[in-house]
Amino acid sequence: MHLAYPAVLAALLFCVGVYGVLARRNAILVLMSVELMLNAVNLNLVAFDVWLRDTLHAGQALTLFTIAVAAAEIGIGLAIVLMVHRNRGTADVDRLRDTAERPGSPDDGPDDGGAPGTPTDETPHGEKAEATA
Amino acid sequence: MILAAQAAAETPGFLSPSGVEIVFLLVGLVTLGAAVVTVTTRQLVHAALWLVVALGGLAVEYLLLTAEFIAWVQVLIYVGSVVVLLLFGLMLTKAPIGRSPDADSGNRPVALGVALAAAAALVWVVVDAFRTTWIDLDGAVQGSTEVTGATLFKHWVLPFEALSVLLLAALVGAIVLSRKKEQER
C-alpha cells in the first residue's frame, strides 16, 4: 500500500477537526472535533509504524497511550463542561467571555460585563462556586 | 539518488491499485464523509452518531494496516465509551433534540478558510514527500495482540505505569469536578 493514502486521509481528517473546533459553538461538539484530530494523529502513527517496521513498535505503543490520554481528556473535558453548564446555564463557548479583553475598556474589570449577557450579578457567585468546588 | 530511483522503479504506480488499496480508499471516503457530517450537522445527537461511523471506519483502516490490537482498542474505547460519554454529556447539558439553528458560531467562513488552507498545504506536502513510499504489508503481522503485548510489557513498562497513574488522576479529577457542592445537597 502506498504510504500516501493513510497520510492524506490523516491530513484531511485533521483539517476537518480543525474546522469543527473553530466553527462549532457547543462545547461538546468542540470536544468531538478534538477527538477527530486525535484520531488523525493516531492513523499517522500506525501507518508510519507499519511502514518503518520498528522493532520496538514505538508508533503502536504511542497510539495506545494517545488513546488512553484522549479518554482521560474527554472525561475531564465533559466534567468541566457539565460544571460550567450547571453554574452558567449554557455550554456555548462564545458566551463564556468573562476573561475576554474588551476593545473599549483596557483595564476596567468589573463594569464591562453589562454588554451582551446578564452575568453581572451571578459572576461573583460563579467564581466563588468554582473556587470552592 | 540511486536508491530513490530504484525505489521509484520498484513501487507500483497509483493507476494500478491493489485490492487493499481500493478497500482502504473506499473506507477512507466513508470515514471522511462521516467526519464532515459530524462537524457540519445541526442536530447535536446526529453529530455523535456520525462520529461513531467515522471512528469505526478508522478501526477498519487500522485492520487494513495490520494493526489488529489498535483496531479493537479503538472500537472498545472510542466507539464504546467515548461516544457514550459524549451522548451523556449532550443529554446532561439539555441539548435540543431537533435541529438547533445556533450549532455553528459566527466565524464559520474564517474556519472554513483556515481548514481549506491547512488541508491544501498538508496534502501537498505529504503527497510530495511520500509519493513513492511503499508500505510492505506482506510478511509477519505488525500489530497482533501477541506482538503488541510483548513490546508493550518488555520495552514500554514505565510509560504504561505512568499512564495508569494519569488515568487515576483523571478519574479523581472528574469526580471532584462533577461533585455537587456542600450547600446544594
> Is the model's pLDDT at B177 over the cut of 70?
yes
Interface contact flag, A11 B173, Cβ < 8 Å: no
The string of pLDDT tens digits covering residues A14-45 is 999 999 999 998 899 999 999 999 999 999 99
Q: What is the pLDDT of residue A112?
A: 45
A4 vs A108, residue with greater confidence: A4
Interface contact flag, B35 A64, Cβ < 8 Å: no
Domain ranges for chain A? 4-99+115-132
List of chain B residues whose C-beta atoms are within 8 Å of the C-beta of residue A6:
24, 61, 65
Residue A67 · residue A35 · CB < 8 Å: no
A76 vs B99, residue with greater confidence: A76
A106 vs A84, residue with greater confidence: A84
Instruction: Locate B181 and state its grid cell.
Output: 457542592
Residue B170 · residue B94 · CB < 8 Å: no
- Best mutation target among A26, A55, A132 (most B Cβ atoms within 10 Å) is A26
Q: Alpha helix (H) ranges present in A24-122?
A: 27-52, 58-88
Nearest CA of chain A to the CA of B4: how many Å?
15
Nearest CA of chain A to the CA of B73: how many Å?
8
Nearest CA of chain B to the CA of A18: how many Å?
6
Q: What is the pLDDT of residue A133?
A: 43
Residue A26 · residue B152 · CB < 8 Å: no
List of chain B residues whose C-beta atoms are within 8 Å of the C-beta of residue A7:
126-127, 130
In angstroms, rounded to a whole number, what is the distance separating the alpha carbons of residues B75 and B67? 13
Please enumerate in sequence order all residues whose Cβ is within 8 A of that of A103, keeping only pairs 6 or more positions apart, or say none: none
List of chain B residues whose C-beta atoms are within 8 Å of the C-beta of residue A16:
32, 35-36, 38-39, 115
In this structure, what are the phi and psi dihedrals at residue B141, rounded to the nearest 5 degrees?
A: -70, 130
Instruction: Kindly report the pTM of this predicted structure.
Output: 0.83
Q: What is the pLDDT of residue A89?
A: 85
Class in CATH terms, A4-99+115-132: mainly alpha
> Is the model's pLDDT at B22 over the cut of 90?
yes
Q: What is the pLDDT of residue A128?
A: 44
> Is the model's pLDDT at A111 over the cut of 70?
no
Q: What is the pLDDT of residue A118?
A: 43
ipTM of this model? Answer: 0.88
Instruction: Locate A106 and state its grid cell.
Output: 483596557
Residue A28 · residue A78 · CB < 8 Å: yes
Share of chain A above pLDDT 90, in %: 56
In angstroms, rounded to a whole number, what is the distance separating the alpha carbons of residues A39 and B57? 11
Residue B15 · residue B25 · CB < 8 Å: no
Q: Which of A104-108, B24-28, B38-42, B96-100 is least confident? A: A104-108
* Mean pLDDT for all residues in chain A: 81
Residue B141 · residue A49 · CB < 8 Å: no
Kindly report the length of chain A.
133
Q: What is the pLDDT of residue B136?
A: 85
Q: Could you say which residues from 56 to 115 on chain A have a Cβ atom under 8 Å away from some Cβ of chain B?
A: 56-57, 60-61, 63-65, 67-76, 78-83, 85, 91-94
> Is the model's pLDDT at B117 over the cut of 90?
yes
* Mean pLDDT for all residues in chain B: 88
CB atoms within 10 A of CB B21: 18
Nearest CA of chain A to the CA of B91: how many Å?
10
